[in-house]
Amino acid sequence: MLYRIDPGTNQVAETLDIGQVSSCAMPSVGFGRIWIPPCEGGLEAVVVDTSSDAITGSINAQSAVALSTDAVWASADVNGQRRVLTYDPRTLQVVGPTTAIGPYDSYVNAPGAVWGISSPTGSISRLDPTTHALVERLTIPGSDPDEALHAAVLDGAIWIKGYESGALVRMDLTTHRFSIYQVPGYAQTDGYYDLALTAALGSLWFRISDTTVVRFDPTLGKVTATYPAGRGGGAVAVDFGSLWVANFDLDSVWREPIQK
More confident call, 133 vs 203: 203
User: How does residue 125 score in pLDDT terms, banded at 50, 70 and 90?
Assistant: very high
User: How does residue 73 score in pLDDT terms, banded at 50, 70 and 90?
Assistant: very high
pLDDT of residue 38: 85
Report DSSP state, residue 101: B
25-61: b (≥16 Cβ within 10 Å) or e: bbbbebbebbbbbbeeebebbbbbeeeeeebeebbbb
pLDDT of residue 21: 63
Q: Is the pTM of this model over 0.95?
A: no
Mean pLDDT of 174-179: 96
Using CA of residue 187, residue 197, residue 223, residue 162, what is the dihedral sign? positive
Is a pLDDT exceeding 70 seen at residue 58? yes
CA distance 259 to 30: 28
- Residues 247, 236 contacting (CB under 8 angstroms): no
User: How does residue 232 score in pLDDT terms, banded at 50, 70 and 90?
Assistant: confident
What are the DSSP calls for 3-69, one per residue? EEEETTTTEEEEEE--S-S--SS--EEETTEEEE---TT--EEEEEETTTTEEEEEEE-SS--EE-S
Is a pLDDT exceeding 70 seen at residue 202? yes
